[in-house]
Amino acid sequence: MRRRQVLLSAACVPLLGASPGGLAQARQQAPDPDVDTSVAKPAYPQGKGPRLAIDGGHNNFHTVDGRFAPFAAVARADGYRVSGLTGPLSAQSLAGVDLLVVANPLAAVNVGDWSLPNPGAYTPEEAAAVKAWVEAGGALLLIADHMPFPGGAQPLAKAFGFDFDNGFAQRTGGGPEFFQRADGSLLDHPITRGIDRVQSFTGSSFRAPPQAQPLLVLRGGWSVAMPQKAWVFDDKTPRHDGEGLLRGAALSAGKGRVVAMGEAAMFTAQLAGPQGRKMGFNAPTASRNKAFLLNVLRWLSGKV
């Protein structure tokens, strides 16, 4: 039987302030060394599960031994074999792994400069290779957080019919970003079974192809700001209504599966800013985020 393969593409930085200092503040994010990454009932025997490689070859903001280390630790605790990966994505490089994580891809022009334009971080050949790999039975988790990351992830998103806003999707009036069954923003799916609420930490919005199944929907008043530079907003910043747009969706593609997400801090555990604010599945208000992470991995790898 052909092993199911999983590709994860992530891009995540939280909203830290409408100022040019936002990039510097984002760099203050660090993995939480004390977070609980244990898994009570692992999906696979320890070290015997699918091979999971985290991309480090596309100017990634999150890496296996950096800001995505808590993600990697949870995956290892669930039995996945986790390592890093560098170099282009191709049929050859994808053949050597079972699960691939692409976290926060950026084009070279945007390294240290989170202003427009934000071209794709992947070549057309890489996008075509990923699409063929998924349709042959692989699985893709594509996470494109707020600007500039949707631009970096755009070639992969477009290959599967997802249309990301390269901006900031923000709840009207601010406040925590909860997606919950009670208000219809968290929808029923094998990924969400047993989960009544998850929290995200500022991201993007997107539109999915008709055949996709929504997971997280922007409800209760949202707007999407499209700035020229990350975190710099004024009265001239273009904005559009975000109500009803998506933050998460699942899609079958050929013999494979795709999950698209518009926020990635929810999948890891970080300490943000000088005060070390907990952000991710370590946050006291995000107690079900780790279960959501596990459900996503298990659904993509055929365990759910």
> 69-77 and 289-300 are packed helices; what angle lies between their axes, rounded to 10 degrees?
60
Q: Is the pTM of this model over 0.75?
A: yes
- List pLDDT tens digits, range 23-51: 676 768 899 999 999 999 999 999 999 98
Q: How confident is the model at residue 22 (pLDDT cuts 50, 70, 90)?
A: low
Average pLDDT, the chain: 90
Confidence of residue 156 (pLDDT cuts 50, 70, 90): very high
Q: Quick check: 129 and 90 in contact, CB under 8 A? A: yes
User: Which pLDDT value is given to residue 15?
Assistant: 42
Q: Are 261 and 268 in contact (CB under 8 A)?
A: no
pLDDT digit string, tens, across residues 183-205: 999 999 999 999 999 999 999 99
Domains of the chain by residue range: 5-300
* CATH among 3.40.50.720, 3.40.50.880, 2.170.190.11, 3.20.20.10 for 5-300: 3.40.50.880
- Of 53, 59, 23, residue with least CA distance to 146: 23
- Summarize the confidence of residues 134-144 as an average pLDDT: 88
Is the pLDDT at 263 greater than 60? The verdict is yes
Predicted local confidence at residue 16, as pLDDT: 41
